[in-house]
Structure 1
């Protein structure tokens, strides 16, 4: 109970500070998107959150606007590289595209740290068996699974290779988060997120952090 209260207060403070502190990046993002591909600034994704309840998640748009809508476009865990415009690649690399999720944190549909929200057509891939434990806690902007994907998964564009090398660990790390969730672990993930972004800006890879996440996942794989 105390942890949930502290976590919510922490989320509100971080989201407000985050929005104010990153306001110049919001302006850069908005201008860059409009100059790259005129259209909506935000992308609204339908996701599954805590207690497996659906909600709308916000992101800066990084892909060209589709002329005709496609059903089941989110079924793949890999983005359609052909649709990502150059500025979109940049904001994805440094995670500027995720900033609007601070609005989700303010409205209580997300937290700063937690399992990643799941696309509705990927629900059966992430929320079954022991892995449905992830539904017990608020989904997060960052967390071990998100950071593992950022460090390693984003480098793999082939869907089959991603499913073999990344998906099992990513899924396991969402379960790992539930087992380790707490004030200090959340703070650790926030610090790790900042470190990961700095590494990405300077073209470095957090190999030590990647190894730590893999070891954490291995510890729960046989449960």
Structure 2
């Protein structure tokens, strides 16, 4: 597990990286926001409660990629294929490139997330926090990340329990070198439309 020095360095890199990213990408972020507004009715951002460090709930930000109230239509929280009628035109592109995650830079700046860490699950899916086993709850020792080991290895191609195993592997072996490796891996996979949607 990470030492206090590593955690301090990790937070410093998170803050610097997210601030720099937000500034450099601000014109692109603004353009995406305008296209979302022109593409369909509804807000630019999608806000959803997620489980963060030690199971504390926070509000995660994403660019909206579906019609408003999508969670109460069709398959609810599940998006199984690209042809899901709830996905907007621009939403297909944003999901395919993971650019819908860009607003989470604000979550990182606020200290709710890290650039790299286990992805934050819903408070009630796949489990309530207290339903995770004591060992599985170790994945919540770290702040959740915009990207993570399970994300770059599997994305949505395996079950949550299998992703949790990768999350635990990350927590046990977390280091700045591993974070850099995952970030590079993430960039390499950014435009590959692999395992975006659930197969079951």
TM-score, structure 1 as length reference: 0.76
Q: Would you identify which runs of 4 or more consecutive aligned residues in structure 1 move more than 6 Å? A: none
Please tell me whether residue 135 in structure 1 is matched to residue 128 in structure 2: no
Check the 8 A contact 1:112/1:142 in 2, yes or no.
yes
Moved more, 80-89 or 112-121: 80-89
2:151: which partner in 1?
Answer: 146
The Cα of 1:178 is off from its aligned counterpart by: 0.6
In 2, distance between residues paired with 1:98 and 1:172? 23
SS in 2 for 1:124: coil
Where structure 2 has 5 or more consecutive residues not aligned to the other structure, the ranges are 196-200
C-alpha deviation, 1:78, in angstroms: 4.5
1:169 is matched with which residue?
Answer: 162
The residue number in structure 2 matching 1:64 is 67
Consecutive unaligned residues of structure 1, counting only runs of 5 or more, are 154-161, 207-223
Provide the rounded CA distance (Å) in 2 between the counterparts of 1:38 and 1:63. 10
Tell me the residue number matched to 2:37. 34
More divergent stretch after superposition (188-197 vs 55-64): 188-197
Partner of residue 172, structure 2: 179
Find the residue that maps to 1:16 and give its secondary structure.
helix
Q: Which has the higher contact order (CA 8 A, sep 6+)?
A: 2
Provide the C-alpha distance between the structure 1 equivalents of 2:11 and 2:154, rounded to a whole number of angstroms: 25
More divergent stretch after superposition (165-174 vs 43-52): 165-174
Q: Does 1:45 align with 2:38?
A: no
Contact 1:19 1:102 in 2 (8 A): yes
- Listed one character per residue, the Cα deviations across residues 190-213 of structure 1 (whole Å, up to 9, x for unaligned) are 11111111x52xx7x69xxxxxxx
User: Taking structure 2 as the reference length, what is the TM-score of the superposition?
Assistant: 0.84
- Given that 1:145 and 1:173 are in contact with CA atoms closer than 8 Å, whether structure 2 keeps it comes out as yes
Per-residue Cα deviation, 1:48-75 (whole angstroms, up to 9, x for no partner):
00011000000000001128957x943x
Report deviation, 1:123.
5.0
- TM-fit CA distance, 1:171: 2.1
Q: Does 1:118 align with 2:107?
A: no
* RMSD between superposed Cα atoms in Å: 2.6
Indicate yes or no: 2:185 matched with 1:192.
Answer: yes
TM-fit CA distance, 1:27 = 1.9
1:218 maps to none
Q: Deviation per CA, 1:91-136: give whole Å up to 9, x if none.
A: 1111110000000000000000000001011152783242211011
Alignment equivalent of 1:21, drawn from 24, 29, 32 = 24
Residue 10 (structure 1) aligns with: 13
Q: Offset of 1:88 from its aligned partner?
A: 0.1
